[in-house]
Structure 1
């Protein structure tokens, strides 16, 4: 049974976000052989790091809405990890690490957005059924 406390999910998000950010920087600068890099280093960093920095202020402040849309960014890294497993067998463990970190961050961000949003009274309002429209 999964916890329903937003604090648990916020910690999970943070425990996966920061290592993911550091790992992406390391993977695309120091861990990848120079021959397999298709972009110059400044462009590669811009391409791989900036998307992870966009939600940083909201993640640090604990905003449920930011945690919710952060999942869309995480899907880019999740798909990259899945693709890298297949296309770069020599980087298998790097890709698995990326998948584990993105999965943890996804679960954490989803749980935090759900339970903190409920606690704050945020969310989609259910439309009342009007009997006269039937």
Structure 2
């Protein structure tokens, strides 16, 4: 896959994870009726968004570690929750894994050419 493909995949998966987080915690399966404060975790996902969209290597490097917190949350809630919340958690795992793979592919494409 090309550098642009990894860049597009990382951007799309990050935006999808933001949308999933907001929908999950505000409407679809919040911890409390009417939404929960866990929706604020989407704000943390906005931190790398600008750098990911701009293709800044440094952002790709640190966000590869940053996304592991969302992966871990998805795994824990995937095993602990039931019903729709559980399915949303496994979607979070899949999207964060896709983001991680794309970020690593993008960063690695710089190493090969240097």
Q: The TM-score by the shorter chain falls in which range?
A: 0.7 to 0.9
Which residue does the alignment assign to 1:31? 28
Equivalents in 1 of 2:64, 2:5: separation in Å?
17
60, 67, 91: which one pairs with 1:97? 91
Equivalents in 1 of 2:73, 2:52: separation in Å?
22
Given that 1:81 and 1:95 are in contact with CA atoms closer than 8 Å, whether structure 2 keeps it comes out as yes
- What per-residue deviation string (whole Å, max 9, x for no partner) do you get for residues 43-72 of structure 1? 4333x1121011112111101110111112
Listed as ranges, the matches of 1:49-128 within 5 Å are 49-90=42-83, 91-119=85-113, 121=114
Q: How many residues in Structure 1 have an aligned counterpart in Structure 2? A: 111
Which sections of structure 2, spanning at least 5 residues, go unmatched? none
Q: CA deviation at 1:113?
A: 1.3
Task: Please provide the CA RMSD for this pair.
Answer: 1.7
Which sections of structure 1, spanning at least 5 residues, go unmatched? 122-134
TM-score (norm 1): 0.74
Given that 1:10 and 1:62 are in contact with CA atoms closer than 8 Å, whether structure 2 keeps it comes out as yes
Q: Which of the two has higher C-alpha Rg?
A: 1
Does the alignment pair 1:44 with 2:38? yes
Structure (1 or 2) with the greater helix fraction:
2
- What per-residue deviation string (whole Å, max 9, x for no partner) do you get for residues 105-124 of structure 1? 000011101213544x4xxx
